[in-house]
């Protein structure tokens, strides 16, 4: 299972958003995509999902070129988890997750009992089975994010793309959602998500892709890539990285340098 | 309290029983008294006669009723009650479908101009002194023209699909209602103007077997794809990107839903005139009882809408010596009910 992007460029009419992007991710990779607002993270994701047709470059998902795939074929390989926003219609958690079966059911078919059982086992594995009859508009943002994650999992795709999965979540929920995502990567899913928090990338991810002005600024193992120089130039503030040792554990955190003075 | 999936079957059964009761009890309402025995005998006799025609067997049922009773039941009440049921079901299902498609529970079936278009078509036909059948056909045709126009404008618009369709619908509606106003202005005030005004207020007063058949056929045909696709209609309520990432091309589904909902609305309005509120309030009530899933919402809206409009039509025939237009009654009932829904927080409250 892999996604490989070579020399990808994309422009909206005259405005070029992505310049010669090279990037790949494989089984079990948890990749954070970092970059300031408007840098092209969403555009990159939309290309990877086949929503946008890049002007040049190739995207190969599990050996298939995305140019030759229709939305059904893309949905078999890659699932998308949007930002958790309160929905217009208050579907229950269970009904929301069932929608992930679209690709596996014929046009005139609807989910049956065995599908509901699959939903329950996925909800159970994410620890939200007790919410199944609750309306999605009435659960917390973190619970809603896990519901959307469950919808992506029932889709049976092995590559997951997440648009700021922890945006608008409180500190506890951010951690809980990242833990779930991390354990999915351990099971072999390839997960690519965008975030505005470099500490999240340092703490949870194996790899990072740093975008600046539509170019790849850095790409590789998170702890090697997210250096003081890269973060400082990325966000336009001085950033220091600290090594924390406690007991047997060791982790890296970054802070603005000015905060230390 | 949680709404459990297991509770829905009994609720749907209760709704079906209510529908059957309203349907058959509506035959007893009116100046001519009908006995339950006659109603049963006449309806079953007619039904068997229909079957005998198809399967070619001899029917030997003794006729125990008067020809007047048969005429009232078969030629007056049967078309009227069926038409009320079909129009109520059609407006509710169309409303529910449009609401999902526009991701907005406040949308009614005339959002794309089907009703105002049909109203204009009817007014034009009355002005040109067309007969009753051509008035119906003209209303139906202009309903379709209005929606096609709104849809075409939204296709070339650079705005997003939902917003451009809503705006195009408003534009088309106001264009056709201006047209209707102009026709009222030039219409002859003795006969045409009252006819137009009465038509626009909605009534099943002059319904004939032919109209009932027309509306049944034109509502059942689009109802079939909506029933078959009803689980997929759920996918129109999430964002286009999300639906696409789940592997569905929403453009085609959207078009099928528009065509079906528009056919149903135009056919209904063309035989009954403009009847507001049904398509807005009934889907809301159904969500309150059956939740948001279109698998249950479509059949529930059909049954509840049918029962509701039969009851409203019963009222329109009985509360005064002259008939009260249906559109007036549904507004009198719909508006307070809607206020109630607003006060309790709509279908969004946890149930």
Task: Give tens-digit pLDDT for B75-97.
Answer: 999 999 999 999 999 999 999 99
Domain borders along chain B are 5-33+66-348
Coil vs helix vs strand at B9 = helix
pLDDT at A199: 92
pLDDT at A244: 87
| Distance to chain B for A135, nearest Cα, Å | 7
pLDDT at B6: 60
Which of B3, B104, B246 has the most A C-beta neighbours within 10 Å, making it the best mutation to test the interface with A? B246
Q: How confident is the model at residue B5 (pLDDT cuts 50, 70, 90)?
A: low
Q: Are A27 and A1 in contact (CB under 8 A)?
A: yes
User: Given CB atoms, is A113 within the 8 Å cutoff of chain B?
Assistant: no
User: Taking CB atoms and an 8 Å limit, are A90 and B234 in contact across chains?
Assistant: no
Which of A52, A99, A106, A129 has the most B C-beta neighbours within 10 Å, making it the best mutation to test the interface with B? A99
pLDDT at A179: 92
C-beta neighbour count of B315 within 10 angstroms = 17
Kindly report the CATH class assigned to B5-33+66-348.
Answer: mainly alpha
| Distance to chain B for A132, nearest Cα, Å | 10
pLDDT at B342: 81
User: Taking CB atoms and an 8 Å limit, are B247 and A76 in contact across chains?
Assistant: yes
Q: Are B305 and B18 in contact (CB under 8 A)?
A: no
pLDDT at B137: 93
Chain B residues whose CB is inside 8 A of the A136 CB are: none
**What is the helix (H) or strand (E) element at residue B149, kind and residue range?**
helix B132-156
Chain B residues whose CB is inside 8 A of the A94 CB are: 5
pLDDT at B351: 45
| Distance to chain A for B105, nearest Cα, Å | 8
Order of strands, sheet of A190-194, starting from the edge strand that comes earlier in the sequence? A78-81, A159-162, A190-194, A30-34, A207-212, A215-221
User: Taking CB atoms and an 8 Å limit, are B242 and A80 in contact across chains?
Assistant: yes
Rounded to an integer, the average pLDDT of B184-206 is 91
pLDDT at A1: 67
Tokens encoding B236: 């129109």
pLDDT at B132: 84
Domain borders along chain A are 2-222, 227-261
pLDDT at B349: 53
Chain A stretch 10-69, residues whose beta carbon is closer than 8 A to a beta carbon of chain B: 46, 49, 51
Q: How many CA atoms lie within 13 A of B265 on its CB side?
A: 38
* pLDDT, tens digit, 9 for 90 and up, residues B217-270: 999 999 999 999 999 999 999 998 999 999 998 889 999 999 999 999 999 999
Chain B: residue whose CA lies nearest to A86: B238
User: Given CB atoms, is A244 within the 8 Å cutoff of chain B?
Assistant: no
Chain A stretch 118-177, residues whose beta carbon is closer than 8 A to a beta carbon of chain B: 133-135, 137-138, 151, 155
User: Taking CB atoms and an 8 Å limit, are A89 and B100 in contact across chains?
Assistant: yes
Nearest to B246 among A94, A103, A109 (CB): A103
Which of B247, B286, B351 has the most A C-beta neighbours within 10 Å, making it the best mutation to test the interface with A? B247
* pLDDT, tens digit, 9 for 90 and up, residues B317-342: 998 888 899 999 999 998 898 888 88
User: Given CB atoms, is A75 within the 8 Å cutoff of chain B?
Assistant: yes
Coil vs helix vs strand at B3 = coil
CATH superfamily label, A2-222: P-loop containing nucleotide triphosphate hydrolases (3.40.50.300)
pLDDT at A259: 63
Tokens encoding A66: 């995305």
User: Given CB atoms, is A250 within the 8 Å cutoff of chain B?
Assistant: no
3-class SS shares of chain B: helix, strand, coil, % to 5: 75, 0, 25
Chain A: residue whose CA lies nearest to B348: A90
User: Given CB atoms, is A108 within the 8 Å cutoff of chain B?
Assistant: yes
User: Taking CB atoms and an 8 Å limit, are B5 and A91 in contact across chains?
Assistant: no
Residues of chain B contacting A, Cβ within 8 Å: 2-5, 100, 103-105, 228-232, 234-235, 237-239, 241-249, 291-293, 295, 347-348, 350
Nearest to A49 among B245, B291, B347 (CB): B245
Instruction: Give the rounded percent of residues in chain B with a pLDDT score beyond 70.
Output: 97
Chain A residues whose CB is inside 8 A of the B347 CB are: 90
Instruction: Please report, in tens digits, the pLDDT of each residue of chain A (261 residues total).
Output: 689 999 999 999 889 999 999 999 999 999 999 999 888 999 999 999 999 999 999 999 999 999 999 999 999 999 999 988 888 899 999 999 999 999 999 889 999 999 999 999 999 999 999 999 999 998 999 999 999 999 999 999 999 999 999 988 899 989 999 999 999 999 999 999 999 999 999 988 889 999 999 999 999 999 899 999 999 999 989 999 998 888 777 888 999 987 655
Token pair 């991390």 in the structure block, residue: A182
C-beta neighbour count of A220 within 10 angstroms = 13
Phi-psi region of A38 (alpha: psi -120 to 50; beta: other; left: phi over 0): left
User: Taking CB atoms and an 8 Å limit, are B247 and A103 in contact across chains?
Assistant: yes
Burial A114-125 (b: 16+ CB within 10 A, else e): ebeebbeebbee
The pLDDT mean for chain B works out to 90
| Distance to chain A for B150, nearest Cα, Å | 24
pLDDT at A261: 54
Distances (CA, A) of B135 to A85, B202, B312: 48, 14, 24
Rounded to an integer, the average pLDDT of B128-134 is 89
């Amino acid at each position: 299972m892999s996604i490989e992007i070579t020399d990808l460029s994309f422009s909206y009419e005259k405005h070029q958003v992505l310049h010669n992007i090279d990037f790949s991710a494989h089984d079990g990779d948890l990749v954070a995509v970092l970059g300031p607002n408007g840098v092209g993270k969403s555009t990159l994701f939309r290309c990877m999902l086949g929503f946008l047709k890049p002007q040049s470059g190739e995207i190969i998902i599990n050996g298939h070129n995305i140019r030759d795939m229709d939305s059904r074929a893309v949905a078999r390989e890659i699932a998308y988890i949007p930002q958790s926003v309160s929905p217009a219609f208050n579907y229950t958690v269970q009904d929301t997750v069932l929608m992930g079966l679209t690709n596996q059911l014929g046009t005139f078919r609807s989910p049956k009992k065995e599908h509901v059982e699959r939903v329950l086992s996925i909800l159970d594995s994410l620890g939200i089975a007790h919410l199944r009859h609750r309306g999605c508009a009435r659960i917390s943002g973190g619970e809603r994010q896990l519901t959307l994650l469950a919808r992506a999992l029932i889709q049976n795709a092995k590559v997951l793309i997440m648009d700021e999965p922890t945006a608008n979540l409180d500190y506890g929920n951010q951690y809980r959602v990242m833990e779930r995502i991390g354990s999915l990567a351990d099971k072999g899913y390839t997960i690519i998500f965008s975030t505005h928090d470099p500490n999240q990338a340092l703490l949870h991810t194996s790899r990072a892709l740093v975008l600046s002005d539509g170019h790849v600024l850095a790409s590789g193992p998170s702890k090697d890539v997210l250096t003081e120089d890269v973060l400082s130039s990325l966000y336009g503030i001085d950033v220091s990285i600290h090594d924390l040792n406690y007991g047997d554990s060791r982790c890296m955190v970054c802070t603005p340098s000015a905060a230390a003075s | 309290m949680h709404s459990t999936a297991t509770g829905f079957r009994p609720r749907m059964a209760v709704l079906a029983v209510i529908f059957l009761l309203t349907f058959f009890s509506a035959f007893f309402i009116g100046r001519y008294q009908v006995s339950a025995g006659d109603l049963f005998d006449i309806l079953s006799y007619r039904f068997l006669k229909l079957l005998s025609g198809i399967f070619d067997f001899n029917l030997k049922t003794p006729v125990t009723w008067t020809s007047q009773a048969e005429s009232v039941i078969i030629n007056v009440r049967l078309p009227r009650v069926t038409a009320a049921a079909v129009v109520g079901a059609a407006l509710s299902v169309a409303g529910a479908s449009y609401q999902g498609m526009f991701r907005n529970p406040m949308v009614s079936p005339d959002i794309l101009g089907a009703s105002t278009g049909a109203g204009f078509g009817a007014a034009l036909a009355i002005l040109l002194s067309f007969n009753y059948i051509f008035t119906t056909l003209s209303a139906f045709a202009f309903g379709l023209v209005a929606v096609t126009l709104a849809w075409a404008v939204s296709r070339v618009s650079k705005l997003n699909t939902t917003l451009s369709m809503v705006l195009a619908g408003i534009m088309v509606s106001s264009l056709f209602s201006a047209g209707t106003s102009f026709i009222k202005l030039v219409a002859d005030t003795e006969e045409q103007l009252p006819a137009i005004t009465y038509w626009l207020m909605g009534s099943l007063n002059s319904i004939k077997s032919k109209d009932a058949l027309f509306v049944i056929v034109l509502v059942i045909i689009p109802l079939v794809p909506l029933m078959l696709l009803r689980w997929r209609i759920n996918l129109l309520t999430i964002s286009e990107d999300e639906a696409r990432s789940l592997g569905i091309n929403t453009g085609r589904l959207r078009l099928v839903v528009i065509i079906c909902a528009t056919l149903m609305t135009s056919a209904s309005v063309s035989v009954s005139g403009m009847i507001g509120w049904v398509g807005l309030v009934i889907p809301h009530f159904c969500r309150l009882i059956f939740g948001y899933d279109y698998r249950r919402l479509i059949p529930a809206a059909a049954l509840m809408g049918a029962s509701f409009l039969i009851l409203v039509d019963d009222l329109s025939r009985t509360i005064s010596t002259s008939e009260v237009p249906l559109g007036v009654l549904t507004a009198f009932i719909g508006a307070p009910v809607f206020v109630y829904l607003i006060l309790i927080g709509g279908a969004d409250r946890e149930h």
